[in-house]
Amino acid sequence: LMVVWGVLYIAPPSRAAFLPLANVNGVDLGLGLPSLLFAWGITEVVRYSFYFFKLLGAVPHAVTWMRYTFFIVLYPLGVASELFLTYSGFPTLVSTGALSYPMPNPYNISIHFPSIVIMFFLGYVPGFPMLYMYMVNQRKKVLAPKKAKKA
């Protein structure tokens, strides 16, 4: 929500930002809104397919495998895209003062939205490795071969 409403909606230049990383057969590949939508889209389709089949009581192995494997590439791609788009929209957030609430005002409080965005950025430092390693450990647990029970 922070990226969608806090950056992409309020800072339109971030929607067009693109950081080329590679060129494959004449097509630039990189970070930007398409990579964000790709990572989020695939992740959500797989995640909710997994939940749907879980509600039915039988999750196909292919769906389980996708749920616990695709994140290896899609999670870093999504995070990198979020951070790049937030970074590219930051100057607009600062210059427009969007979502900020400066003093003086009747409530005697001040909210500086760019400061909140910086805290958002800093939250990724401990948050991303912790959540990524959690998923790696879940993958090991869920996809590990089942041990035969001893009689």
Active site residues per annotation:
75, 82
Distance CA 68, CA 70 (A): 6
Distance, CA of 63 to CA of 142 (rounded, Å): 12
Residues comprising the chain, all counted: 151
Q: Hey, is 97 helix, strand or coil?
A: coil
CA distances (Å), origin 146, targets 12, 68, 140: 50, 16, 11
Kindly state the DSSP code that residue 111 receives in the 8-state scheme: B
Q: From CA 123, how far away is CA 1, in angstroms rounded?
A: 15
| DSSP 8-class letter at 6 | I
